[in-house]
C-alpha cells in the first residue's frame, strides 16, 4: 500500500446480529489530511472507528491503518495512533497529569519523555493550571480536553477522534476546532467523526458522509456541493398569476417548474446563474415580478440531499 495512505478500508462491513451497521465501506484517508466523518446518529461512525482501532473485528472486508492490515488489536499499529473514544470517561481519582502519565507508560514512553510531553499537552488543550486537579472535579468540557490530550500523548502519526466536540458549549466547540487545526499543523493525520456539518466544514479538507451504514460521499469539501445535485431553485413571486408565464417557464431546459397561484418554483439542474434569462421569460410573457430569490445550493443542502431530511436530528 502506498505510504501516503493513513487509512484504507475495503468493502468493510459490520453486522450486529441482523443489523448491518456498516455496509461495504471503501474509504481512503491520505496522510496529513484532516478528514471529517460525517453522519447522523446511528449512521455507523463509531462502529467504523472501533474497527479502525482494533476494538471490533469486521464481519467482512478489510482495512489497513498506516500501511498495516488490521485484524483486531495490532500493538504495532496501536503505538502510532491516538484514539479518543466517544464520550470518554476516565478514573475520577486520577489527576489530569496522572492520567496522561498512565497512558504515556502504556505507550512505552520513558519518564523523561513523559515529563516533557505532559505539560506541553496540558497547555495545548487549555488545561493549564488544572493538570494537578482530579478528573472527578473536571467539567464535561475539561474531560473532553483531557481525552484529546490522551489521544496525543505518544505523538501519533494518526489521530482518530470520535465526536470530539459532543457535549461542549459553543465556545468549547470552537476551541476543539482550533485544537484540531493545531494537531494538523504538526503534520499529523486527523480523522474525526461528527454529526455537525458546520464543524466539519470549518476544519476539514476532506469529508466522508455516511448514512445507515452506507457511504454517500467521500471527497474534498469543495467538490461536495458541485458533485451533488444540491437542489438549487429559484422562487418567483408575481404581482398576479398570468396565463403564459408557466408555459414560458416550461420551455426552459435547465429547470422543472412548479406553480402555486402567483408563486413559481424552478428546480434547477444547472449551476449557471440563470436569473436574467428567467426574468426576461417572465416579463416577456407579461408577468410582473415582485420577488425573485435563489434558494439551496449550499453545503447544507448537499448534505441534506445525501442523508435525507429525516436523517438530521
Ligand X SMILES: Nc1ncnc2c1ncn2[C@@H]1O[C@H](COP(=O)(O)OP(=O)(O)OP(=O)(O)O)[C@@H](O)[C@H]1O
Query: Given the rule CB under 5 A, which of 45-53, 95-103, 213-221, 301-309 is the region that contacts Mg ion?
Result: 45-53
Q: Residue 195 is placed in which grid cell?
A: 454529526
Nearer to Mg ion among residue 264 and residue 303 (C-beta): 303
User: Under a CB-based contact definition with an 8 Å cutoff, are residues 153 and 165 in contact?
Assistant: no
Residue 241, binding choice from Mg ion, ligand X, none, Cβ under 5 to 8 Å by partner class: none
* Partner in contact with 232, chosen from ligand X, Mg ion, none, beta carbon below 5 to 8 Å by kind: none
Half-sphere exposure of 257 (CA within 13 A, CB side): 19
Q: If binding is defined by CB under 5 A, does position 46 make contact with Mg ion?
A: yes
Where does this chain touch Mg ion (CB under 5 A) — which range of 16-24, 84-92, 230-238, 295-303?
84-92
- Which is nearer to ligand X, 102 or 212 (by Cβ)? 212
Distance in angstroms (rounded) separating the CA atoms of residues 65 and 27: 11
21 binds, among Mg ion, ligand X, none (CB under 5 to 8 A by kind): ligand X
With a CB cutoff of 8 Å and minimum separation 6, the contacts of 262 are 237, 238, 239, 240, 241
Integer Cα distance of 187 and 27 in angstroms: 21
CB of 77 to Mg ion, least distance (A): 22
The CA distance from 189 to 101, in Å, is: 23
- Residue 195 CB, nearest distance to Mg ion (Å)? 8
Which one of ligand X, Mg ion, none interacts with residue 215, CB within 5 to 8 A by kind?
none
What's the residue count for the chain?
313
Q: How many residues bind Mg ion (CB under 5 A)?
A: 3
Q: Minimum distance between the CB of residue 275 and ligand X, rounded to whole angstroms?
A: 39
Kindly state the smallest distance separating residue 221's Cβ from ligand X, in Å: 20
Q: Binding partner of residue 312 among ligand X, Mg ion, none, CB under 5 to 8 Å per kind?
A: none
Shortest spacing between CB 166 and Mg ion, in angstroms: 9
Residue 71, binding choice from ligand X, Mg ion, none, Cβ under 5 to 8 Å by partner class: none
Question: Min. distance of Cβ 22 from ligand X in angstroms?
Answer: 7
Nearer to Mg ion, 86 or 155 (CB): 86
Which residue number, 45 or 232, has a Cβ lying nearer to Mg ion? 45
Q: Which does 195 bind (CB under 5 to 8 A by kind): Mg ion, ligand X, none?
A: ligand X
In the complex with ligand X, the residue whose CB is nearer, 3 or 18, is 18
3-state SS track over the chain? CCCCEEEEEEEEEEEECCEEEEEEECCEEECCCEEEEECCCCCCHHHHHHHHCCCCCCCEEEEEECCEECCCCCHHHHCCEEEECCCCCCCCCCEHHHHHHHHHHHCCCCHHHHHHHHHHHHHHCCCCCCCCCEHHHCCHHHHHHHHHHHHHCCCCCEEEEECCCCCCCHHHHHHHHHHHHHHHHCCCEEEEEECCHHHHHHHCCEEEEEECCEEEEEEEHHHHHHHCCCCCEEEEEECCCCCCHHHHHHCCCCEEEEEECCEEEEEECCCCCCHHHHHHHHHHCCCCEEEEEEECCCHHHHHHHHHCHHHCC
**Contact footprint for ligand X (CB under 6 A):** 16, 19, 21, 39, 41-47, 86, 195
Q: How far is the CB of 212 from ligand X (least distance, A)?
A: 8
Least distance in angstroms from the C-beta of 177 to ligand X: 18
Q: Which does 47 bind (CB under 5 to 8 A by kind): Mg ion, ligand X, none?
A: ligand X
For binding to Mg ion (CB under 5 A), which residues are involved? 45-46, 86
Amino acid at each position: 500500500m502506498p505510504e501516503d495512505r493513513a487509512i484504507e478500508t475495503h468493502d468493510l462491513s459490520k453486522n450486529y446480529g441482523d443489523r448491518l451497521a456498516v455496509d461495504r465501506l471503501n474509504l481512503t484517508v491520505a496522510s496529513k489530511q484532516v478528514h471529517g466523518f460525517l453522519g447522523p446518529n446511528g449512521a455507523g461512525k463509531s462502529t467504523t472507528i472501533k474497527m479502525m482501532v482494533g476494538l471490533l473485528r469486521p464481519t467482512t472486508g478489510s482495512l489497513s491503518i498506516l500501511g498495516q492490515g488490521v485484524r483486531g488489536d495490532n500493538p504495532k499499529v496501536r503505538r502510532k495512533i491516538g484514539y479518543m473514544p466517544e464520550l470518554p470517561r476516565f478514573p475520577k481519582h486520577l489527576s489530569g497529569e496522572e492520567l496522561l502519565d498512565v497512558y504515556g507508560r502504556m505507550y512505552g514512553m520513558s519518564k523523561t519523555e513523559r515529563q516533557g510531553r505532559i505539560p506541553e499537552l496540558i497547555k495545548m488543550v487549555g488545561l493549564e493550571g488544572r493538570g494537578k486537579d482530579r478528573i472527578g472535579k473536571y467539567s464535561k468540557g475539561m474531560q473532553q480536553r483531557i481525552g484529546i490530550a490522551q489521544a496525543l500523548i505518544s505523538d501519533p502519526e494518526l489521530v482518530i477522534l470520535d465526536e470530539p466536540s459532543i457535549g461542549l458549549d459553543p465556545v468549547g466547540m470552537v476551541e476543539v476546532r482550533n485544537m484540531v487545526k493545531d494537531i494538523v499543523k504538526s503534520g499529523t493525520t486527523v480523522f474525526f467523526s461528527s454529526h455537525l456539518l458546520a464543524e466539519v466544514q470549518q476544519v476539514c479538507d476532506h469529508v466522508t458522509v455516511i448514512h445507515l451504514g452506507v457511504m454517500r460521499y467521500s471527497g474534498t469539501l469543495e467538490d461536495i456541493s458541485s458533485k451533488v445535485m444540491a437542489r438549487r431553485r429559484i422562487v418567483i413571486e408575481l404581482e398576479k398569476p398570468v396565463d403564459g408565464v408557466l408555459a414560458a417557464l416550461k420551455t426552459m431546459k435547465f429547470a422543472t417548474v412548479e406553480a402555486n397561484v402567483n408563486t413559481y418554483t424552478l428546480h434547477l439542474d444547472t449551476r449557471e446563474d440563470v436569473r436574467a434569462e428567467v426574468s426576461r421569460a417572465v416579463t416577456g410573457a407579461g408577468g410582473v415580478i415582485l420577488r425573485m430569490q435563489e434558494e439551496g445550493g449550499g453545503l447544507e443542502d448537499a448534505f441534506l440531499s445525501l442523508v435525507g431530511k429525516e436523517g438530521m436530528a
